Structure 1
Amino acid sequence: MTGAATIEITGTGLAELACARLLLARGHRARVRLRAPEAAPRPLLLNAPTLELLRSLWGREPLADCHRLTYREVCWGPEGTGALRRLPQPAVVVDGGRLAQRLLDRLAARYPDALGDVTGAEAMAAEPAFGEAPAVRRWTVTAVGWSSGHRTAGRRHLLAGEAPLAAGQDERTARLVCTDLAWLHLTPLGGGRALLQAMVPGPVARPAELLARLLTQSALAPVLEHAPRTAVALPAAPRLHSSPAVPGRLLVGAGAIRYDPLSGTGTAQALRTAFLAADTLHAAAGGAPQRPLLTHYATRLRTAFHDHLATCARLYPQAFTSPAWRHEIDACGVAVTGNGV
């Protein structure tokens, strides 16, 4: 390596922290700029491949206060026609904010100078003197997108709310079912509570009301004591940033590429962007030309986006025949034709 990069990591999401950990281990000067923590709990369902990625970064499994799941029941297809499958699928449910704080504490313990903004002196040192090879550069890595925009494949939204499980219900099995309008996923959180999510093909004005109605139409109704009293509706269609890599800046995580939650691999894919970003910055610090590196970074994300859309275009027609889903299925189909992305 001909030089060490000076890198500001803006934010403390799992992707940003993973990138910081990888860069610091390679001798780069990385600083993590803290953002205000999220006030509300953020349950994350982490499957076995995601846990393996976390272990590869942080050593022993960096989890505490998590709820462990053993099985997943899936009934995918038009309501009442899909076959129920019970699959062994070990996973854990953990609060994303607490996990990020735990990783941040571990990072600070190992690299005491890693927290805080890049200083003025370091910023000046990052600029090569006249006549020098530009081996040392300043970069910013973040999961917060800038203004050049995104390409979004659809309008669908995810409804989410918590509710108590009915007495005697299995707290080790996650469940996925379909209605005519939505797929619903129930994730036990431990302590007799569960997260209920529903994917619907567009924006929603009153998410709690719609989530309650979808629950009554599904096989999940007996599993909960009652429907969630409150719920949120979040944009959830797959999304790719138009320019995830530009000179001096790289986007990681959901700011660069967002997956349909149906895949169940969103956290793992966010971590993989961190690995790719760290390799890109390491190569740039070693003297590799920037432009081909940035093009490679963007191309890798675009390929992953196409592959994910192709999966959605294959799965959604198997479950939904209603006109409400036609737009979403057509939007996913751009992966097959190559139009629009």
Structure 2
Amino acid sequence: MTLVEIAGSGLAELTCARLLADRGHRVRLAPPRPPGQPAGAARAGAGPRPLLLTGPTLDLVGRLWGDGLLDGGWPLTHRHARWGAGPSPGRFPQPGRAVDGAVLAVRMRERLGTGDLSGEPPAWTVTATPGEPAGERAAHRQTGRRRLLAGTAPVRRPRDQDTARLDCTGLGWLHLTPLGREACLVQAMVPGPAGDPAGLLARLLAESALGTRLRRPPRTAVALAAAPRVHLAPALPPVAGRGGLLVVGAGALRQDPISGTGTAQALRTAILAAAVIDAAAAGTSARALCAHYADRLRAAFHDHLGTCMRLYPAAFGSPAWRDEIDAMRHALRGGAAGTLPGRPDRAVPEPAQEPPP
């Protein structure tokens, strides 16, 4: 069967490896990362990668990987959300689990075993971080400059750790995810680069009622690029002397975390990439399959922008946020000529929407 190189250790890459191995293909895994350096460490800083998984994402992880992968995560039972300046809708049931993405990746890799150890060239390479000599801007279509701020802080009420909470200020939205052991993940979305992420998080917490739920703001924080982005050439078919390439995960499609389904969408790119390789091995045109893969990602990208456009204009009206909203509106209308073709038929809708983020 087909030999596929998995050139990374992210959740989407390893899920693709699992699906391909289950279908009888040979997979060659990237070397393990050094201890304490999870996937994305070069961009986000070494250490844990807290994730909040809810609803469709939990179901999808269970179907793909079976039981036990999420053991040790912190269970959540409810969510409380106030979007924009409106009144709070109150606390409502929403089961979820706060997990460490780095731990999940280690467990996935352990289940995959050693993989193929031959030295022959692969027919395909699957990666979430492709090399882009021409520059990221040329390879992607990005809609805005907003940043996700993230840090951890101690909670004030140790018993109140079963509810994820969302609030808005004039500057952006703010989200608290209990992690257990009296710790909380603090995230905020702001409409542009942040020179002092921890200071900006402290300001947002001071302007929100959520600040009273923490003993103090995070002492350190990171600012991550978070505007929706789609790769313009996420799939290249094999040609003479070169194997094919499939970009998965956030490298293929990055979603604003307001949707709450980014991890599920990353795993769906892995499912689709595995289907491309499997169909190509069965004789379907690799070129046609790669074109279909790109079309499906663009459809999901447009659907996600539509979700953002239903939410952000209702909550934020500052000039900086209007620039972000205009960038998304421009992309929905087709973007620059020849950069993003007209929206194809809705082939892969987003997972069922959950309350933001």
TM-score of the superposed pair, with normalisation by structure 2? 0.85
8 Å CA contact 2:158–2:182 kept in 1: the answer is no
Counterpart for residue 223 of structure 1: 213
3-state SS of paired residue (2:5): strand
Match of 1:197 among 170, 180, 187: 187
Equivalent residues in 2 for 1:137-148 (5 A)? 138-147=123-132
Counterpart for residue 311 of structure 2: 315
Amino acid corresponding to residue 301 of structure 1 in structure 2: L
Larger RCO, structures 1/2 (Cα 8 Å, 6+ apart): 1
3-state SS of paired residue (2:209): coil
Cα distance in 2 for residues equivalent to 1:251 and 1:20 = 13
Gaps in structure 1 of 5+ consecutive residues: 127-137
Change (3 A) 1:115 1:90: farther
Structure number with larger C-alpha Rg: 1
Counterpart for residue 5 of structure 2: 8
> Percent identity among equivalent residues?
57
Amino acid corresponding to residue 86 of structure 1 in structure 2: R
CA deviations on 1:100-152 (whole Å, 9 max, x unpaired) are 101111121xxxx4165xx33x32xx6xxxxxxxxxxx100010033152111
Match of 1:332 among 328, 331, 339: 328
3-state SS of paired residue (1:141): strand
Q: Return the offset for 1:92.
A: 0.4
* Higher deviation after alignment, 20-29 or 83-92: 83-92
Q: Return the offset for 1:269.
A: 0.4
Counterpart for residue 77 of structure 1: 84
Match of 1:56 among 54, 63, 67: 63
Alignment pair present for 1:237 and 2:241: no
Cα distance in 1 for residues equivalent to 2:98 and 2:145 = 27
3-state SS of paired residue (2:284): coil
Q: Return the offset for 1:337.
A: 1.7
Amino acid corresponding to residue 177 of structure 2 in structure 1: T
Alignment pair present for 1:272 and 2:262: no
Amino acid corresponding to residue 62 of structure 2 in structure 1: R
3-state SS of paired residue (1:93): strand
3-state SS of paired residue (1:333): helix
Amino acid corresponding to residue 21 of structure 1 in structure 2: R
Taking only aligned residues, the RMSD between alpha carbons, in angstroms, comes to: 1.4
Cα distance in 2 for residues equivalent to 1:167 and 1:45 = 20
Change (3 A) 1:174 1:308: same
CA deviations on 1:179-209 (whole Å, 9 max, x unpaired) are 0011000000001010111100000111111
Counterpart for residue 22 of structure 2: 25
* Higher deviation after alignment, 18-27 or 160-169: 160-169
3-state SS of paired residue (2:90): strand
Counterpart for residue 300 of structure 2: 304
Counterpart for residue 52 of structure 2: 45
3-state SS of paired residue (1:41): coil
Cα distance in 2 for residues equivalent to 1:167 and 1:290 = 56
8 Å CA contact 1:163–1:228 kept in 2: the answer is yes
Cα distance in 1 for residues equivalent to 2:234 and 2:131 = 9
8 Å CA contact 1:169–1:223 kept in 2: the answer is no
3-state SS of paired residue (1:44): strand
Gaps in structure 2 of 5+ consecutive residues: 39-45, 238-243, 341-357
Alignment coverage as a number of residue pairs:
316
Change (3 A) 1:13 1:154: same
8 Å CA contact 1:33–1:115 kept in 2: the answer is no
Change (3 A) 1:115 1:70: farther
Counterpart for residue 106 of structure 1: 111
